[in-house]
Amino acid sequence: MKQLHVHNWFGSIDSSPYVVVQPDSVEDIIEIMQDHEKYPSPVRAVGSNHSTTPCGVAEGGTLVDMRKMNRIIEIRPDSVTAEAGALYIDVNQELQKHNLQFNVNVELGNLTIGSASCGGTKDASLPGEFGQVCSYASVIKMVTPSGELLEITEDQPELLHVARSSYGLFGIIYEVTFKVRPLQAMTVYHKSYTLDEFATQLPTLRTQGNSIMLYLNPFLDRVVVEFRRYHDTKKPQSLTSWQWKIRNYIWSTLSPFYAYCVTKYVPVVPIRDFLFDLFNRLIFIVCVLVIRGNNTLAIAQQIRYPAVATNSKYTFSIWAFQEEHYIDNLRAYFKFCKDYYRSTGYRSNMISVGYRINHDDSSMFSYSFRGTVMTFDPVSTGNPGWEAFLTAYNELCSSLGGVPLFNQTNLLTSEQVAHAFGDRIATFESYRKRFDPANRLLNGYFSNLFAAEKTVSDRTL
Ligand SMILES: Cc1cc2nc3c(=O)[nH]c(=O)nc-3n(C[C@H](O)[C@H](O)[C@H](O)COP(=O)(O)OP(=O)(O)OC[C@H]3O[C@@H](n4cnc5c(N)ncnc54)[C@H](O)[C@@H]3O)c2cc1C
């Protein structure tokens, strides 16, 4: 049999499943779960395969591509139900026709409903709201490894809490209900600070009723903050999108393409650095002067990335830190980037980003489980040296007490995972084993990440 090769959207995670299957119906998923010969383990469901880690890899097993199950089933005044393979942006655009929107409008429109309900996501939290999509999942329906149908609702809060972090390890999700809200006008504007200015201002900025998203440049010592807040409008039809179109074009197309070209065609390092810095300064000016508005449409923040990545593709990583320690940790990150560049000659070729995300214990592996967090996330076109840089970045972030995301923080070690999540791994494992005692859905990635927990619990037996 010909060996299959599959990679994630960016192209950085390669794998060879035995079979790739696209179910059309719940019956198809039941058959996949029950027929071990035709569909060998591990069985892993994927959506758009945008994750930057091997969380969806089915090496030697069965990759279940959920994209064909993409129907929007019902829209109600306060919720929407859709099949797991539907794209977040498609559902959001349908909601807009009913003057509704999702609560969290992550920039990645290609996020699928199934992944959104059971994995890590981030967007800067608006006051009183969560920044993780799964926290708004109120009903999750899945097919378990035995082929049974399981419906988890808000009447089973403990189970919903773990299912929202289950990454396809309890079952294949085929349908999800998310809470939604009326369309609201969104104000957006940017301000530029030096790191010291930002450190002084942050305590005040946190109290001003805005969400806080950051563009970070350690080499220019700059922090540009994107502020957003909702306000009421009587005319949701008159909301503007042009600000987000410019932002989306810069972020998803122009910046990565520029970084790719400069990296590829400018071999002289000082000239290359000059071109990166010049571009980043210009982008910051455009953000502050142009990308601002009082009546913008929140869902216009979403980007529909091309199905097949082009030379404008980029990748990133992320760790979250308790906000009371953020400035010290951000200083450590700026210093780390500069020291790393001096000692190895590597710098990431795009600006880093960061998010402020409210305290949220709605899911087991929430990275803001213990309190409000802020992140610093390097971004790159994957220029040579990126993976070694990520390994060092992981070491730094783990030593600073950070928390990673299993689908967005690559090259984690089991020790770093145990350090970040502690007892929550053992609790999660006890649930997982209830649904999947034979490890039909467990791939090498999760098995390795949870290994340190096993060693600890084996020792304590
Ligand atoms: C260019 C780019 C931009 C991004 N921007 C953002 C952003 O702004 N905000 C953000 O939060 N993230 C962002 N991400 C990361 C992305 O949101 C997450 O990695 C997300 O999981 C991707 O969704 P997906 O549908 O591609 O999931 P996949 O990568 O296909 O799957 C993710 C995980 O969910 C599981 N899974 C998927 N579907 C199912 C199902 N039906 N049943 C059971 N398990 C399932 C998979 O097994 C896997 O473990 C970005 C990624 C890229 C490449």
Distance 119 CA to ligand 1 centre (A): 7
- Portion of the chain with pLDDT greater than 70, in percent: 97
From 13, 91, 108, 143, mutation site for ligand 1 pocket: most ligand atoms within 8 A of C-beta: 108
- Portion of the chain with pLDDT greater than 90, in percent: 95
Atom of ligand 1 nearest to the CA of 121: 11
Work out the burial of residue 33: count CB atoms within 10 Å of its CB; fewer than 13 is exposed, 13-18 middle, 19 or more buried: buried
In tens, the pLDDT along 312-331 reads: 999 999 999 999 999 999 99
pLDDT of residue 454: 58
From 70, 110, 115, mutation site for ligand 1 pocket: most ligand atoms within 8 A of C-beta: 115
What is the arithmetic mean of pLDDT over 239-257? 97
In tens, the pLDDT along 114-129 reads: 999 999 999 999 999 9
Ligand 1 pocket by C-beta < 6 Å: which residues? 9-10, 44-51, 55-56, 66, 84, 106-108, 111-112, 114-115, 118-119, 121-122, 167-168, 172-173, 305, 314, 407-408
From 46, 226, 244, 366, mutation site for ligand 1 pocket: most ligand atoms within 8 A of C-beta: 46
In Å, how far are 99, 323, 324, 348 from 203, measured between CA atoms? 35, 10, 9, 29
Atom of ligand 1 nearest to the CA of 55: 49
In tens, the pLDDT along 51-79 reads: 999 999 999 999 999 999 999 999 999 99
In this prediction, residue 3 has a pLDDT band, given cuts at 50, 70 and 90, of confident
Distance 298 CA to ligand 1 centre (A): 20
Tell me the two tokens of residue 376: 């610093």
In this structure, the number of other CB atoms found within 10 A of the CB of residue 208 comes to: 11
What is the arithmetic mean of pLDDT over 344-360? 98
In this prediction, residue 232 has a pLDDT band, given cuts at 50, 70 and 90, of confident
> In whole angstroms, what is the distance from residue 168 CA to residue 146 CA?
14
> In whole angstroms, what is the distance from residue 47 CA to residue 77 CA?
27
> In whole angstroms, what is the distance from residue 321 CA to residue 4 CA?
39
Distance 50 CA to ligand 1 centre (A): 5
What is the arithmetic mean of pLDDT over 420-430? 97
The residue whose CA has the least distance to atom 15 of ligand 1 is 51
What is the arithmetic mean of pLDDT over 408-428? 97
DSSP letter (8 states) at residue 3: P
